């Protein structure tokens, strides 16, 4: 017979001890801060000394490769292994509360250095003159909202924010639904072709579309642009597409729509596949047509994903400058805020106005980030 085990004899899980307080809590917090700073400081020191070898033009290439491997792989592993060893030798009352900071803390410190500090510095710089030496208050912001070219850039950016996400999401959603009807092999092939532009950088895509929109005035040879080649082949006159204000803004938007459609399609396709088949079958049994099922069942079920995809594309749109810069749209009435920011910083050498434009972009993007985080939390709560 098996011995009878009473309820009192069943081993109970030990409760989690509360974090130390008082002097012990102070020591724990100091240990947390210390282990969080160990990796960034040690990595900075190691990179500094290794840089004397890696950046020396006379250094042996084999030595450079070995040093890079030591610093990049072995060094980081040794740092974390050493920190884990140190945590394991701490008193029991500190160990569990310090260990997470030994691994997460360095990443938080590095993010603070490379994200929070530049953000704070940019905000301060936006209140200074073009050289970043004298305090000018709100003059840079007044200049932004009184300069006609900058106002045009803001107006164009708002147009991009409306048009690009709308068409990217609609076309991506359409492709996601249609590709799902092609079967496994057809779906994989079609999605691969549609998603392929995502592998191209914005600069590369701009160069591709520059050949599409290319225009040569009369007397400068044959038209090599795809669109103008087709027009001249049909007997029509070629068009200077990128000089047609304000339509050139929409021609540039087409490039970003082409790039972002694949992203929207992949995310929305995954969301559509996650809709419970039982709900769809129940709607069909009740007599709903495919259009009604899609409008009343599928769309509400993927509404959170639609919002996340839309806000992600909007954030990308606010930051885009590569397309306008490469296509030369700023010369023909098609500037955007991010392009003006880069131009002010690096072409006009006006750090104050450039920083102010960066702050404007930051303010425009923050609400979208909040919406994304809120939607993410709502999705996590429903799982």
Q: What does each of the 383 residues of the chain score in pLDDT, given as a tens digit?
A: 445 545 454 455 444 455 555 555 666 666 666 666 666 676 666 656 655 655 566 666 677 777 777 766 777 777 777 777 777 777 776 677 777 777 777 777 777 777 888 889 889 998 988 887 888 888 889 988 888 888 888 899 999 999 999 999 999 998 888 887 777 777 788 888 888 888 888 888 888 898 888 888 877 777 788 888 888 888 788 888 888 888 888 999 999 999 999 899 988 888 888 888 888 888 888 888 888 888 888 888 888 888 888 888 998 898 888 888 888 767 787 888 888 888 888 888 888 888 999 999 888 888 888 877 777 777 666 65
Q: Which residues contact 161 (CB under 8 A, 6 or more apart)?
A: 314, 317, 318
What is the CA angle 192-197-199, rounded to 5?
90
- Residue 303's φ and ψ, nearest 5 degrees, are -60, -40
Residue 143: the pLDDT is: 87
Residue 255: the pLDDT is: 92
Beta-bridge mates of residue 135: 128
Beta-bridge mates of residue 128: 135
Say which residue the tokens 């709560």 belong to: 381
Which DSSP letter does residue 113 get? I
Quote the crossing angle between the two packed helices 247-273 and 202-213, to the nearest 10°.
130
Taking the C-alpha atoms of residue 253 and residue 167, their distance in angstroms, rounded to an integer, is 10
**Structural domains in the chain plus CATH codes:** 22-125 (no CATH), 140-382 (1.10.3720.10)
| Two structure tokens written together for 321 | 């400058």
Residue 15: the pLDDT is: 47
Buried b (16+ CB within 10 A) or exposed e, 59-72: eeeeeeeebeeebe
| Two structure tokens written together for 183 | 């079967």
- Residue 128's φ and ψ, nearest 5 degrees, are -115, 170
* Residue in 35, 16, 25 with CA at minimum distance from that of residue 85: 35
Which DSSP letter does residue 134 get? S
Cβ pair 324, 378 in contact under 8 A:
no
Taking the C-alpha atoms of residue 376 and residue 202, their distance in angstroms, rounded to an integer, is 27
- Judge residue 327's burial from the number of C-beta atoms within 10 Å of its C-beta, 0-12 exposed, 13-18 middle, 19 or more buried: buried
Sign of dihedral through CA atoms 43, 45, 50, 52?
Answer: positive
What is the CA angle 292-296-299, rounded to 5?
115
Residue 243: the pLDDT is: 85
* Residue in 334, 374, 313 with CA at minimum distance from that of residue 242: 334
231 in helix, strand or coil?
Answer: helix
- Residue 244's φ and ψ, nearest 5 degrees, are -90, 90
- Measured in whole angstroms, the distance separating CA 106 from the mean position of its chain's CA atoms is 22
- Residue 137's φ and ψ, nearest 5 degrees, are 65, -130
Quote the crossing angle between the two packed helices 247-273 and 148-179, to the nearest 10°.
40
């Amino acid at each position: 017979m098996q011995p009878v085990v009473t309820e009192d004899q069943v081993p109970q899980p030990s409760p989690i001890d509360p974090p130390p307080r008082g002097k012990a809590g102070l020591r724990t917090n100091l240990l947390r801060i210390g282990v969080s700073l160990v990796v960034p400081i040690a990595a900075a020191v190691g990179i500094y000394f290794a840089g004397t070898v890696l950046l020396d033009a006379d250094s042996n290439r084999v030595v450079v490769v070995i040093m890079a491997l030591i610093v990049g792989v072995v060094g980081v592993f040794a740092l974390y292994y050493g920190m884990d060893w140190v945590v394991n030798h701490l008193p029991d009352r500190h160990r569990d509360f310090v260990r997470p900071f030994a691994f997460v803390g360095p990443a938080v410190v590095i993010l603070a250095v490379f994200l929070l500090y530049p953000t704070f510095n940019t905000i301060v710089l936006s209140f200074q003159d073009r050289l970043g030496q004298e305090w000018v208050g709100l003059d840079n912001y007044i200049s932004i909202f009184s300069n006609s070219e900058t106002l045009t850039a803001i107006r164009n950016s708002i147009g991009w924010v409306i048009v690009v996400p709308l068409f990217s999401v609609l076309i991506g959603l359409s492709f996601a639904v249609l590709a799902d009807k092609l079967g496994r092999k057809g779906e994989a092939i079609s999605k691969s072709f549609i998603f392929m532009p995502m592998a191209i950088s914005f600069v590369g895509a701009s160069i591709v579309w520059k050949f599409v929109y290319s225009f040569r005035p009369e007397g400068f040879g044959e038209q090599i642009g795809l669109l103008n080649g087709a027009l001249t082949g049909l007997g029509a006159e070629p068009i200077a597409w990128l000089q047609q204000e304000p339509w050139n803004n929409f021609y540039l938007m087409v490039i970003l729509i082409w790039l972002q459609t694949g992203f929207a399609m992949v995310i929305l396709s995954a969301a559509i596949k996650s809709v419970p088949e039982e709900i769809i079958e129940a709607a069909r049994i009740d007599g709903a047509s495919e259009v009604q099922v899609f409008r009343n069942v599928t769309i509400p079920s993927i509404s959170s994903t639609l919002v996340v995809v839309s806000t992600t594309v909007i954030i990308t749109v606010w930051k885009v400058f590569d397309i306008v810069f490469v296509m030369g749209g700023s010369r023909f009435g098609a500037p955007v805020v991010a392009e003006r920011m880069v131009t002010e910083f690096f072409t006009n050498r006006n750090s104050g106005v450039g920083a102010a434009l960066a702050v404007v972009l930051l303010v425009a993007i923050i609400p979208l980030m909040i919406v994304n985080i809120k939607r993410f939390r709502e999705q996590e709560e429903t799982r």
